[in-house]
Amino acid sequence: MSARDDLERLVGRLAAEGLDVTLEFARSPEGTKTGRVVLRGRDDEVVADLPQESPEEMAATLARLVVLGFRTPAEPAFEPPADRPRTGGRRVAADVLVAGVDGYRKGWVAVAVDPSGDVEVSTHPAFTAVLASRAQVIAVDIPIDPAGAGGRPADAAARAFVRGRASSVFSTPPRAALQAESFAEANEIARSLTGKGISQQAFALARKILEVSPLAETDERLIEMHPEVSFCALAGEPLAHSKHTFEGLALRRELLLEAGIDVPAAHPGVSEADLLDAAVGAWTAARYASGDARPFPPGNAERLGGIWA
């Protein structure tokens, strides 16, 4: 029996009894993300443990669960918009073509939104290809630190803003650490310069950070965003669920739809989390274009050096 048949059989047989879903992720030293979907019954017994060998497989499994009508019984994945008032950002209509960009395992995924509300998703192996876009504002999920000193006030302000999701905003390492040949060397350099080490997550993004930084200094269209900060601004409060959960993905998709950004159900080779992160970047870019974007830290007036939402 295939994994898909097994999933359908389990959900079909036990949905009435109430199943809970847990997503677990791990990342190899090379940066490859794997995980598993664990289904549990009412007594917390493990009904199924389904290994996922890639983010794409995880996204496909989640999409299949949606098709099967699966919902976590303890609480709804999300309430209807009319029943939950929003206190966050207003609905955004892009007055110009804008784009949000997020890194993914093969390069960069971009979500462009034009003034008519049309959404276009594209992928690019290099960031220079992203800049071929006609978008007038491009918000990218990558730290941009012109000074190269690390330890930015923007990171601290963003962590304070998202509160319970502060761990999603890592401190930008000094550029010298990002240029190191190994994680051990990067850690040593970071400690000597700032008194703090560098995270594996930050070092894994070193190539992308170094790729974007010089381009951002010369291309006036580029601004920095952070998906968790933007989603928090859009919702008016920190999100209750991680993007690595079924509920978290559903909530983020709903928030974007309320804001007028109808994200495609999937895009080949791109995880749903990366797709939604790029989409909320487009929301941020539209706000920046209209002068409504909020800077972190507050009072930051420069295009670079701050995180925009």
Same domain flag for 12 and 146: no
Q: Say how many CA atoms lie within 13 Å of 226 toward its Cβ.
A: 29
Is residue 18 one of the residues assigned to a domain?
A: yes
Domain that holds residue 285: 98-308
- Whether residue 234 is predicted with pLDDT greater than 50 in this model: the reply is yes
**What are the tens digits of pLDDT across the range 195-217?**
888 888 888 889 999 999 999 99
What are the φ and ψ backbone dihedral angles of 145, each rounded to 5 degrees? -125, 85
**What are the tens digits of pLDDT across the range 43-101?**
566 777 778 776 566 666 665 665 555 543 333 333 333 333 444 454 565 679 999 99
**What are the tens digits of pLDDT across the range 239-296?**
989 899 999 999 999 999 999 999 999 999 999 999 999 999 999 999 999 999 999 9
Q: Which long-range contacts does 200-204 make (Cβ < 8 Å, 24+ apart)?
A: 200/27, 200/29, 201/27, 201/170, 202/170, 202/171, 202/172, 202/173, 202/178, 203/173, 203/177, 203/178, 204/27, 204/31
What does the block give as tokens for 260?
Answer: 């007028």
Higher pLDDT, 84 or 188: 188
Which range of 47-61, 97-111, 149-163, 166-180 scores highest in mean pLDDT? It is 97-111
Q: Say how many CA atoms lie within 13 Å of 289 toward its Cβ.
A: 25
- Measuring CA to CA, how many Å separate 278 from each of 95, 155, 164, 166, 197? 19, 19, 22, 19, 28
Contact (Cβ atoms closer than 8 angstroms) between residue 211 and residue 178: no
Pick the range with the lowest mean pLDDT from 25-29, 111-115, 271-275.
Answer: 25-29
pLDDT at residue 64, as a whole number: 60
Same domain flag for 44 and 153: no
pLDDT at residue 158, as a whole number: 93
pLDDT at residue 83, as a whole number: 39
Pick the range with the lowest mean pLDDT from 105-109, 181-185, 249-253, 293-297.
Answer: 181-185
Q: What is the number of domains present in the chain?
A: 2
Strands (E), the chain: 20-27, 33-40, 46-52, 98-104, 107-113, 119-124, 137-140, 222-224, 295-296, 307-308
Same domain flag for 45 and 145: no
**What is the Cα Rg of the chain in Å?**
20
Is residue 88 one of the residues assigned to a domain?
A: no
pLDDT at residue 72, as a whole number: 36
Is residue 198 one of the residues assigned to a domain?
A: yes
Same domain flag for 137 and 248: yes
Is residue 24 one of the residues assigned to a domain?
A: yes
Task: State the Cα–Cα distance between residues 141 and 285, nearest whole angstrom.
Answer: 11
pLDDT at residue 77, as a whole number: 31
The H helix count followed by the E strand count for the chain is 11, 10
pLDDT at residue 19, as a whole number: 57
pLDDT at residue 8, as a whole number: 63
Q: Residues near 94 by Cβ (< 8 Å), separated by ≥ 6? A: 113, 114, 115, 117, 282, 285, 286, 289
> What CATH number does residue 186 fall under?
3.30.420
pLDDT at residue 7, as a whole number: 62
Local confidence band at 25 (pLDDT 50, 70, 90 cut-offs): low
Same domain flag for 153 and 207: yes
Is residue 90 one of the residues assigned to a domain?
A: no
What does the block give as tokens for 12?
Answer: 């079909």
Task: State the Cα–Cα distance between residues 170 and 33, nearest whole angstrom.
Answer: 18
Is residue 92 one of the residues assigned to a domain?
A: no
pLDDT at residue 42, as a whole number: 58
Supply the DSSP symbol for 168.
G
Nearest Cα neighbor of 302 from 110, 147, 128 is 147
pLDDT at residue 84, as a whole number: 37
Same domain flag for 117 and 59: no
The helix/strand/coil state of 90 is: coil
What does the block give as tokens for 126?
Answer: 């290099």
Task: State the Cα–Cα distance between residues 112 and 123, nearest whole angstrom.
Answer: 11
Contact (Cβ atoms closer than 8 angstroms) between residue 206 and residue 178: yes
Same domain flag for 103 and 173: yes
**What are the tens digits of pLDDT across the range 119-136?**
999 999 999 999 999 999
pLDDT at residue 197, as a whole number: 85
Instruction: Give me the mean pLDDT over the 179-197 stretch.
Output: 88
Task: State the Cα–Cα distance between residues 246 and 72, nearest whole angstrom.
Answer: 9
Task: State the Cα–Cα distance between residues 236 and 129, nearest whole angstrom.
Answer: 34
Same domain flag for 199 and 68: no
Same domain flag for 169 and 32: no
- Measuring CA to CA, how many Å separate 19 from each of 39, 73, 218? 6, 7, 52
